């Protein structure tokens, strides 16, 4: 494929958080009742797993059963104290958290983090309790940077297959767009033994044929470095927006850097070229100039296909799963 098939500068557009009422979420088992009260230790006594806009995520150990069986720990997403400093902050962020709980409660897939409960802590604030993951893929990428080598093909394969399988379920079974696929939102247990998508707070309902959002008033949030050209330019948002983002995750595992970043820093001054970064958004991210093992070539090709500017030329999640299954039997399929 010619390089011109992939690289077309796109001008970024403003995006803002959508305003959603959790009572309007259409999932199989909505969160209709008031969350019960559960004793959740104060944040200083919990191990912090991560954080995001307006929230922190902590690890909460579960008490053993009367028979002595040890329960798996929960990940607890709590509102940050900083939300009180913004106008209507607490109400806005709690609505988002309730929306995510509503979505997550209706999902059941081995590659999607499991819902556990939606409760109020002793301070009266809503907390979302979920299955815990050990590390995010982003954390593993940061650790890998010390080695300076791309992830091996088998680990890239596991991540992409798991994420594609989860997206196939979201798109075709639930008619949902994840809306923020990135390495931070992929959890990994053990030596890539379990891989799960998380963070469903900006999901949007898709039309039955996946060609557009079910609610025209919904606005895509996402993360700019992982956002497709059609979203940035105000075009039709389909399931293929998630596929572009998945291509950027493959890029991260190959380059160990955020998409569109390698050539944005001046080595002498470490100054960020914001204009160049903005122009690169929505295009195929350029891999660092280095030699890649031949076994990685199929995943480089898949990354480029997923990140095509033309959404219609990107594969569906199910097609990616099928291709990866064939790749196991026929190495070099995507070369």
Catalytic residue positions?
180
Alpha helices in the chain (DSSP H): 89-105, 137-144, 153-168, 229-232, 240-255, 274-280, 297-306, 317-329
Contact present, 8 and 309 (Cβ < 8 Å): yes
Measured between its terminal Cα atoms, the distance across the chain in Å is 11
- Compute the distance between CA of residue 189 and CA of residue 196 in angstroms, rounded to an integer: 9
* 3-state SS class at 52: strand
How many other CB atoms are found less than 10 A from the CB of residue 245? 27
Close Cβ partners of 203 (under 8 Å, ≥ 6 residues apart):
100, 103, 170, 176, 177, 178, 179
Torsion sign across C-alpha atoms 17, 19, 22, 26: negative
DSSP code for 212: S
- Compute the distance between CA of residue 3 and CA of residue 80 in angstroms, rounded to an integer: 44
């Amino acid at each position: 494929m010619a390089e011109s098939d992939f690289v077309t500068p796109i001008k970024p557009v403003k995006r803002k958080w959508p305003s959603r009422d959790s009572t309007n979420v259409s999932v199989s088992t909505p969160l209709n009742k008031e969350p019960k009260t559960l004793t959740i230790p104060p944040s200083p006594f919990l191990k912090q797993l991560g954080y995001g806009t307006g929230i922190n995520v902590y690890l909460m150990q579960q008490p053993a059963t009367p028979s002595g069986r040890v329960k798996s720990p929960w990940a607890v997403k709590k509102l940050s104290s900083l939300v009180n400093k913004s106008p209507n902050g607490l109400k806005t962020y709690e609505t988002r958290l309730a929306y995510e709980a509503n979505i997550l409660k209706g999902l059941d897939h081995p590659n999607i983090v499991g819902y556990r409960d939606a409760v109020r802590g002793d301070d009266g604030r809503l907390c979302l309790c979920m299955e815990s993951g050990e590390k995010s893929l982003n954390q593993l990428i940061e650790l890998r940077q010390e080695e300076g080598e791309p992830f091996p093909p088998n680990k890239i394969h596991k991540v992409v297959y798991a994420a594609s399988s989860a997206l196939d379920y979201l798109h075709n079974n639930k008619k949902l767009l994840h809306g923020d696929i990135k390495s931070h939102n992929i959890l990994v247990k053990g030596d890539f033994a379990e891989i799960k998508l998380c963070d469903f707070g900006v999901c949007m309902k898709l039309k039955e044929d996946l060609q557009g959002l079910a609610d025209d008033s919904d606005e895509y949030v996402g993360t700019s470095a992982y956002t497709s050209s059609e979203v940035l330019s105000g075009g039709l948002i389909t399931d293929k927006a998630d596929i572009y983002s998945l291509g950027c995750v493959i890029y991260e595992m190959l380059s160990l850097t955020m998409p569109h970043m390698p050539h944005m820093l001046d080595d002498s001054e470490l100054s960020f070229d914001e204009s160049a970064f903005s122009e690169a958004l929505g295009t195929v991210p350029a891999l660092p100039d280095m030699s890649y093992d031949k076994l990685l070539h199929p995943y480089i090709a898949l990354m480029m296909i997923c990140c095509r500017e033309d959404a219609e030329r990107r594969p569906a999640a199910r097609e990616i799963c099928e291709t990866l299954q064939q790749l196991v039997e026929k190495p070099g399929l995507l070369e």
